Chains A and B, each alone.
Chain A
């Protein structure tokens, strides 16, 4: 068959069967941030920040809300209010209201990921109050850069290892896996700015508790290697008094030190299978950046003492965190996962671990190596 016949046939078939449905960029509203809240009596409220590229010079971002029993109904209602379709392919951030998170999120997430054209990379976060509150605060400053600020807060922080990166994919993955629970960052509006204030801990898919952002890295260190994170720790002055270079500033018993974790890693070992006793090992290599009291760190003995104090302080914080977790019965660090890898003959189930976790015992060993402390003593 010559090329000409081929071409004529192609043309005919195309004309007969019609072409593909276009989804032109400027004819649709492209959603960037999506918020889900629970309104009264089973209704869901959806809020969306979207871009519509219309007349030039105009800021393309706007806001729309909808309501319905299901997410799709809410989206349809939003479409009715506007003159065009909203597309969900480029959503960067999905926000959930606190009540919605406490109720259970898995239905919304499943609805989102059922769509094969959905983006698995969208970030997830919980709002302190409701999603709509947080999003509408943005609308007061009509500026695309402000819209971008919200996902950027989370993005940058997760890249700096402050919090683990929570995307649609890995939230679901941690949820489905028995023996580990997912987490999510909490954003709140304080002092006229949106901030990352805490890390939400989920039991299954329901919000169970939250820990302040400074302590989030304890969870992070067990998921991945941390590089380049700055932490501040409060240390007692007494054991280090003999290394002080000048008199302490005031009658404080504690002082603060800021150090940069050059490399931090943690791992969990199951020591005793019968009694479920876990040994957690945390290793940090740090650079000292700031001290509020001038402790001289030139001598090896001083460095050793300093290291031991930091180790003690971190260990204490960690054990406090663990007891809180046991009280809430959530396991974001993955102790159950370690147990599962060694449990033969029958796989670990979710309910089994929920029963066992409050009775689990831990011991924590922290090892801090100060690599260098800067140029001045």
Chain B
């Protein structure tokens, strides 16, 4: 297996699109319900937890870029093979891919659950799963360029939802945030840890890095994209704290969607139906990018053609998602994904960096020795 990828010129994408990829994959299904879980730990200081998680994410992103820049044109699979050897490297790559598959499944069933709760109680889970997966397959079959195009367009087409938040913002009660700094540091950190699953997605950088055309300008879009998604999560958390009373914020399940229940326009009385339907445009980019990563991984590690992985994986997801339709099971899966994600996306890059640096230092030293 090649450590450094050779990517055709026509398949490369500009670094500009990394902003949309980052925000597209991070703002997904987690935004809808996260404020409740942070509130359980940190109460009215939940927004501080979000800021802490954002700071941690920036550090990890910086570390990831350092790791990637040590190589010419490698993605995480190549790096793992380089450092840990072929067998362990491939094993780690497979674990990463399975993690992505798990996250995809959780995102899929969570969205189906939300639709069943808010719009159609009797809709068949398989049907919704089929609709969503067919769109994912149709797009991923077009290659990375069409995925990035769709992510870009859906980003633009779905952000008008932020304007609807004006009405809940006008009903915010400032006293809900006071007194400030009541929660202890432990609680704040616990709250920050529960945002992990919401922030998950930025590890796609490890996979997409070889396909970027102008790698020297990579930091700015990544930083802006991470800030944008963190900003949206922060905004939502702030509004939920201010709009709902403490007990409500602790108990209402999909708090962000409930914010939209009171929005009214002269020609549309209830916006939450439209918001939940529009959320499809927010969920799909996440699923498409994850599916692409899975097909890419299978091709790199096991030389399975992308088309076969695509159809097989879609079929497996379709069959499995039909069995996961109980709410508590879905919530348990979300929590599980949260814990796993914490280790893979936050801890792993930090642990990987010193190893990579050591290896590079050892390599250059042995090169210098060989020269002499």
A343 vs chain B, min Cβ distance (A): 7
Inter-chain contacts of A120 with B (CB < 8 A): 258, 261-262
What's the interface size class on B, roughly? 20 to 34
State whether B179 touches A1 (Cβ < 8 A). no
State whether B182 touches A17 (Cβ < 8 A). no
* A174-B261 contact, Cβ under 8 Å, with A1-B137, A13-B130, A20-B123: no
A106 vs chain B, min Cβ distance (A): 11
Number of interface residues of A (CB under 8 A): 35
State whether A169 touches B179 (Cβ < 8 A). no
User: What 0/1 readout, one digit per residue, does chain B (115-133) give for beta carbons within 8 Å of chain A?
Assistant: 0011111111011001000
Check B365 for interface membership: any CB of A closer than 8 A. no
State whether B127 touches A174 (Cβ < 8 A). no
Check A6 for interface membership: any CB of B closer than 8 A. yes
Inter-chain contacts of A21 with B (CB < 8 A): 120-123
B6 vs chain A, min Cβ distance (A): 28
Check B264 for interface membership: any CB of A closer than 8 A. yes
State whether A176 touches B182 (Cβ < 8 A). no
> Please, how many angstroms separate the alpha-carbon atoms of A342 and B180 in the complex?
9
- Could you tell me which residues of chain A, from 133 to 188, have a CB within 8 Å of some CB in chain B? 167, 169-170, 172-177
Check B84 for interface membership: any CB of A closer than 8 A. no
- Could you tell me which residues of chain B, from 269 to 309, have a CB within 8 Å of some CB in chain A? 269-270
B246 vs chain A, min Cβ distance (A): 7
State whether A9 touches B248 (Cβ < 8 A). no
Inter-chain contacts of B270 with A (CB < 8 A): 89, 119
Q: Please name the residue on chain B nearest to A337 by beta carbon.
A: B175
- Could you tell me which residues of chain A, from 69 to 102, have a CB within 8 Å of some CB in chain B? 89-90
B288 vs chain A, min Cβ distance (A): 16
Check B216 for interface membership: any CB of A closer than 8 A. no
State whether B120 touches A14 (Cβ < 8 A). no
A182 vs chain B, min Cβ distance (A): 11
State whether A176 touches B247 (Cβ < 8 A). yes
Inter-chain contacts of A169 with B (CB < 8 A): 261-262
> Please, how many angstroms separate the alpha-carbon atoms of A1 and B137 in the complex?
9
Check B152 for interface membership: any CB of A closer than 8 A. no
Interchain Cβ contacts within 8 Å, total number: 75
B322 vs chain A, min Cβ distance (A): 10
B128 vs chain A, min Cβ distance (A): 10
* A177-B245 contact, Cβ under 8 Å, with A17-B124, A343-B179: yes
State whether B248 touches A17 (Cβ < 8 A). no
State whether B122 touches A20 (Cβ < 8 A). yes
Identify which of B121, B124, B141, B178 contacts A18 (C-beta below 8 A).
B124
State whether B248 touches A176 (Cβ < 8 A). yes
Inter-chain contacts of B261 with A (CB < 8 A): 119-121, 169
Check A56 for interface membership: any CB of B closer than 8 A. no
Identify which of A9, A119, A167, A337 contacts B134 (C-beta below 8 A).
A9
State whether A6 touches B134 (Cβ < 8 A). yes
Check A341 for interface membership: any CB of B closer than 8 A. yes
State whether A177 touches B246 (Cβ < 8 A). yes
Q: Please name the residue on chain A nearest to B117 by beta carbon.
A: A116
> Please, how many angstroms separate the alpha-carbon atoms of A174 and B243 in the complex?
11
State whether B175 touches A121 (Cβ < 8 A). no
State whether B175 touches A344 (Cβ < 8 A). no
State whether A341 touches B120 (Cβ < 8 A). no
Check A257 for interface membership: any CB of B closer than 8 A. no
State whether B123 touches A116 (Cβ < 8 A). no
> Please, how many angstroms separate the alpha-carbon atoms of A89 and B248 in the complex?
21
Check B362 for interface membership: any CB of A closer than 8 A. no
> Please, how many angstroms separate the alpha-carbon atoms of A13 and B319 in the complex?
13
Inter-chain contacts of A17 with B (CB < 8 A): 124, 126-127
* A344-B137 contact, Cβ under 8 Å, with A13-B130, A20-B123, A173-B248: no
Q: Please name the residue on chain A nearest to B322 by beta carbon.
A: A17
State whether A340 touches B248 (Cβ < 8 A). no
Chain B residues within 8 Å of A, Cβ to Cβ: 117-124, 126-127, 130, 134, 137-138, 141, 171, 175, 178-179, 182, 243-248, 254, 258, 261-262, 264, 269-270, 311
In the complex, 24 of the A-B residue pairs with CB atoms within 8 angstroms, ordered by the A residue number, are A1-B137, A1-B138, A1-B141, A6-B134, A17-B126, A17-B127, A18-B124, A116-B254, A119-B261, A120-B262, A121-B261, A121-B262, A121-B264, A173-B245, A176-B246, A176-B247, A176-B248, A177-B247, A338-B175, A342-B178, A342-B179, A343-B179, A344-B179, A347-B246
17 new A-B pairs (CB below 8 Å) besides A121-B264, A173-B248, A342-B179?
A1-B138, A1-B141, A9-B134, A13-B130, A21-B120, A90-B269, A119-B261, A120-B261, A121-B262, A169-B262, A172-B245, A173-B245, A175-B245, A176-B247, A334-B175, A340-B175, A344-B179
